[in-house]
């Protein structure tokens, strides 16, 4: 019996003829919290979606959750095995209430009604989500409310591996702290958390066990929390120089220029 | 009631029927017959009949005989409505049952009216829908021989709905059920017209609904069409809305091989307003066809149309909506939205919202979308552990929820929601989506 929650080995992903992930390796044990940092276009979000199973990519390699291969399975099966991604841009689902949605999931996964009810009630109280339960999923929610809703769903669904894709983006400083505290509060020996982040800002409120830096589709450096300090001081450019990595000419961009402005850039 | 066999659609038949309906309709009957004899069956080459195939000739059909009883099936719409102000059943164009629970309103069959109703409003009978719109409207004027007339007198408010259960049962025939609503000044009324017929029986139904909403009056009017699969229905509806009056319309289209709704709304008086909320779901080889004409004739008038539909397998839907704002009006607002889900490759949805604006001081908007279930929400729902089939069901349900929650008769929400969900689940089970 291994204690490895998530084991990623040589994962490669491409869209058409453009390689985005060029061999990612990562081990995350249960109970640990890992952060993946990296500049725009380094492949962080792609890694999240490749794990979740988005159709857009041609994927090679292996990613196991608790020893079970994920990459050959449909999206819903991966979720049922215990994977959950908190989306960077949670999708609006018109006409479907949040509670209704969670009830459907519970029904499909044979979570007993009273069990779901208890989890819903506890998590709604903890994350102040009561007023949102009857509202349509993510519709007309602010950026911060959407992220809170993602964390709330995580608390209800209790995944084994949580992948948080820029859960801190688009939030003001108070909301970042709130989200960080929520994530910290959810730490448990039964769960592993992988957090993708752009900025070290959220790491002020959270202490990851490991930090990985992704550049040009690979994890180029891993270390303890001190790695965040190095990035804070010198940015990705200094790290690039220390590691002797050439800037990639055609690094694929994942974000539109306008999206820079949704993040508060004062941390770098 | 005398029993009458099925009869050909000829002038002798029209004459024979004249004895059964109010004299006041005589003029429009003659005009209808005249037009019926002149007009051809529509062809899909005409814009207003585009995408519609009619697999019959009206002239080959016989007028449905006197009914010998209606449908035995449970009526989910009646159940959903609960207590009504009045209830009528029309079978094959003949009223077989009519009851009124509320005092204050006149609710009579046209046959009864012919026998001696002397209240006001009879002069409006048959004036709502123009007989020269098409051969179907002409035929309705020529051969309609029964229906219901509701008059809600001025300042009378009736909370509970009137329900008209329109049934068609006689195979190979055509029937012409008629509904006339007169809501007098400052009165308030609610009416639901349900349509049904057996599944496997070819028949044609050609109903007309005409509603006159007096100054300051309020009408909620819903139609719930769940004809059987082999039924061809061509329905005309016309609503005239007076000064400061309001009409809230609901249109639910689920059944029929052809379910056509030709709707003319005259937002006629100053300050008149209307909103139309509707949904349809076409399965297999159904054609659901909506032709909407919204005429703004008064200043400070407003209209809002919101129609959502889905088609699966080889079903086809059509929405053409013409919003016309007449000359020299001010402060008019008009919105029109039609959204369509195309759930199978062989299905198609045609959506053509149009505006014709002859005044300057107006706020107008129209929007139309046609497309499959969106990938992103599907992916998002599946990423939380829902199977693709279940995620799709939830999305279809969510798609319609936006209109279901706005129907003018909230009592119908549950039964409509169930019907739509059931249709999609069945399509999934049969592998059509």
The per-residue DSSP string of B83-121 comes to S-SEEEEEETTEEEEEEE--TTSEEEEHHHHHTT--STT
Question: How far away is chain B from the Cα of A104, in angstroms, using its nearest Cα?
Answer: 8
Mean per-residue pLDDT of chain B: 95
Nearest to B402 among A54, A94, A105 (CB): A94
Residue A203 has a pLDDT of: 85
A253, pLDDT greater than 70? no
Three-class DSSP category at B21: coil
For the segment B139-172, what is each residue's pLDDT rounded down to a tens digit? Answer: 999 999 999 999 999 999 999 999 999 999 999 9
> CB of B412 within 8 A of CB of B252?
yes
Name the pLDDT band for B28 (thresholds 50, 70, 90): confident
Name the pLDDT band for B53 (thresholds 50, 70, 90): very high
Question: How far away is chain A from the Cα of B229, in angstroms, using its nearest Cα?
Answer: 29
CB-CB under 8 Å, B394 with A79:
no
Interatomic CA distance for residues B119 and B123, integer angstroms: 10
**Domain locations in chain A as residue ranges:** 4-88+161-170+192-263
Instruction: State both tokens at A261.
Output: 């402005």
A267, pLDDT greater than 50? no
Q: Residue B192: which H helix or E strand, with range?
A: strand B188-196
Interatomic CA distance for residues B133 and A134, integer angstroms: 46
> CB of B144 within 8 A of CB of B13?
no
List the one residue out of B35, B39, B36, B32 whose CA is nearest residue B18: B32
Interface test mutation site (partner B, options A84, A93, A103, A161, max chain B beta carbons within 10 A): A93
Residue percentage of chain B with pLDDT more than 90: 91
Q: Which is the CATH superfamily of the domain at A4-88+161-170+192-263?
A: P-loop containing nucleotide triphosphate hydrolases (3.40.50.300)
For the segment A77-86, what is each residue's pLDDT rounded down to a tens digit? Answer: 999 999 999 9
Name the pLDDT band for B194 (thresholds 50, 70, 90): very high
Q: Is B144 left (phi over 0), alpha (psi -120 to 50) or beta?
A: beta
> CB of B270 within 8 A of CB of B301?
yes
Min mean pLDDT across A37-41, A54-58, A61-65, B338-342 is at A37-41
Residue A183 has a pLDDT of: 87
Nearest to A76 among B376, B387, B402 (CB): B387
Residue B308 has a pLDDT of: 98
Question: How far away is chain A from the Cα of B29, in angstroms, using its nearest Cα?
Answer: 47
Residue A264 has a pLDDT of: 44
Min mean pLDDT across A203-212, A238-247, B186-195, B372-381 is at A238-247
Residue A265 has a pLDDT of: 41
pTM higher than 0.90: yes
CB-CB under 8 Å, B380 with A93:
yes
> CB of A223 within 8 A of CB of A211?
yes
Residue B1 has a pLDDT of: 54
Residue A134 has a pLDDT of: 96
A204-221: average pLDDT = 93
Interatomic CA distance for residues A230 and B202, integer angstroms: 78
List the one residue out of B35, B45, B227 whose CA is nearest residue B137: B35
A60, pLDDT greater than 70? yes
Q: Residue B354: which H helix or E strand, with range?
A: strand B348-357
Using a 10 angstrom Cβ sphere, with 0-12 exposed, 13-18 middle and 19 or more buried, the burial of residue B47 is: exposed
A57, pLDDT greater than 90? yes
A84 contacts in chain B (CB < 8 Å): 383-384
Residue B239 has a pLDDT of: 98
B425 touches A at CB < 8 Å: no
Mean per-residue pLDDT of chain A: 89
- The more confident residue out of A183 and B49 is B49
Reported ipTM: the value is 0.91
A32, pLDDT greater than 60? yes
Residue percentage of chain B with pLDDT more than 70: 99
Residue B50 has a pLDDT of: 95
CB-CB under 8 Å, A108 with B386:
yes
For the segment A114-134, what is each residue's pLDDT rounded down to a tens digit? Answer: 999 999 999 999 989 999 999
Question: How far away is chain B from the Cα of A85, in angstroms, using its nearest Cα?
Answer: 7
Pairs of residues, one from chain A and one from chain B, whose beta carbons lie less than 8 Å apart: 79
């Amino acid at each position: 019996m291994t204690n490895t929650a998530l084991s990623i080995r040589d994962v490669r992903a491409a869209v058409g003829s453009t390689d985005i992930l060029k061999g990612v390796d990562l081990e995350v044990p249960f109970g640990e919290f890992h952060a993946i940092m990296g500049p725009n276009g380094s492949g962080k979000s792609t890694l999240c979606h490749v794990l979740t199973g988005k159709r857009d990519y041609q994927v090679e390699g292996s990613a196991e959750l608790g020893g079970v291969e994920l990459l050959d399975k449909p999206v819903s099966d991966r979720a049922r095995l215990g994977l959950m991604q908190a989306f960077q841009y949670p999708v609006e689902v018109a006409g479907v209430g949040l509670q209704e949605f969670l009830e459907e999931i519970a029904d499909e996964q044979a979570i007993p009604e009273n069990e779901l009810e208890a989890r819903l009630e506890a998590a709604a109280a903890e994350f102040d989500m009561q007023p949102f339960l009857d509202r349509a999923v993510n519709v007309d929610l602010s950026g911060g409310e959407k992220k809170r809703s993602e964390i709330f769903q995580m608390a209800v669904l209790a995944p084994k591996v949580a992948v948080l894709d820029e859960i801190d983006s688009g939030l003001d400083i108070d909301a970042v702290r709130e989200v960080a505290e929520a994530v910290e509060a959810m730490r448990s020996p039964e769960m592993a958390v992988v957090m993708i982040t752009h900025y070290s800002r959220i790491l002020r409120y959270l202490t990851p066990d490991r930090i990985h830096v992704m550049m040009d589709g690979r994890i180029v450096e891993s270390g303890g929390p001190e790695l965040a300090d190095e990035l804070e001081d010198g940015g990705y450019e200094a790290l690039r120089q220390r590691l002797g990595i050439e800037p990639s000419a055609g690094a694929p961009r994942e974000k539109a220029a306008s999206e820079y402005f949704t993040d508060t850039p004062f941390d770098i | 009631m005398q029993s009458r066999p099925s009869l050909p659609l000829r002038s002798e038949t029209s004459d024979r029927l004249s004895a059964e309906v109010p004299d006041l309709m005589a003029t429009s009957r003659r005009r209808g017959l005249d037009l019926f004899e002149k007009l051809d069956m529509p062809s899909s080459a005409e814009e207003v009949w585009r995408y519609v195939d009619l697999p019959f000739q009206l002239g080959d059909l016989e007028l449905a005989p006197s009914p010998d009883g209606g449908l035995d099936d449970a009526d989910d719409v009646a159940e959903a409505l609960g207590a009504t102000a009045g209830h009528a059943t029309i079978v094959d164009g003949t009223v077989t049952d009519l009851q009124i629970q509320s005092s204050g309103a006149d609710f009579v069959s046209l046959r009864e009216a012919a026998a001696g109703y002397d209240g006001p409003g009879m002069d409006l009978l048959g004036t709502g829908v123009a007989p020269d719109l098409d051969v179907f409207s002409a035929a309705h004027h020529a051969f309609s021989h029964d229906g219901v007339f509701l008059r809600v007198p001025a300042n009378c408010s009736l909370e509970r709905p009137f329900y008209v259960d329109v049934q068609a049962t006689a195979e190979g025939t055509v029937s012409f059920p008629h509904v006339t609503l007169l809501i007098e000044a400052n009165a308030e009324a609610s009416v639901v017209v349900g349509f049904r017929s057996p599944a496997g029986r070819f028949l044609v139904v050609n109903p007309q609904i005409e509603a006159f909403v007096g100054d300051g009056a309020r009408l909620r009017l819903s139609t719930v069409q769940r004809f059987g699969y082999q039924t061809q229905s061509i329905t005309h509806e016309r609503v005239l809305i007076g000064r400061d009056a309001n009409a809230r319309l609901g249109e639910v289209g689920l059944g029929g091989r052809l379910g056509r709704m030709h709707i003319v709304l005259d937002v006629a008086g100053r300050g008149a307003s209307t909103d139309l909320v509707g949904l349809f779901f076409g399965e297999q080889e159904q054609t659901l066809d909506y032709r909407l004409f919204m005429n703004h004739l008064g200043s400070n008038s407003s209209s809002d149309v919101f129609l959502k539909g889905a088609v699966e397998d080889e079903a086809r839907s059509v929405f053409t909506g013409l919003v016309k704002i007449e000359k020299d009006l001010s402060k008019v607002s008009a919105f029109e939205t039609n959204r369509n889900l195309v759930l199978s490759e062989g299905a198609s949805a045609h959506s053509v919202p149009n505006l014709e604006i002859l005044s300057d001081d107006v706020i107008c908007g129209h929007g139309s979308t046609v497309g499959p279930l969106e990938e992103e929400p599907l992916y998002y729902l599946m990423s939380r552990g829902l199977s693709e089939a279940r995620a799709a069901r939830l999305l279809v349900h969510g798609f319609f929820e936006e209109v279901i929650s706005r129907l003018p008769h909230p009592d119908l929400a549950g039964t409509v929601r169930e019907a739509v969900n059931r249709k999609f689940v069945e399509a999934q089970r049969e592998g059509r989506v």
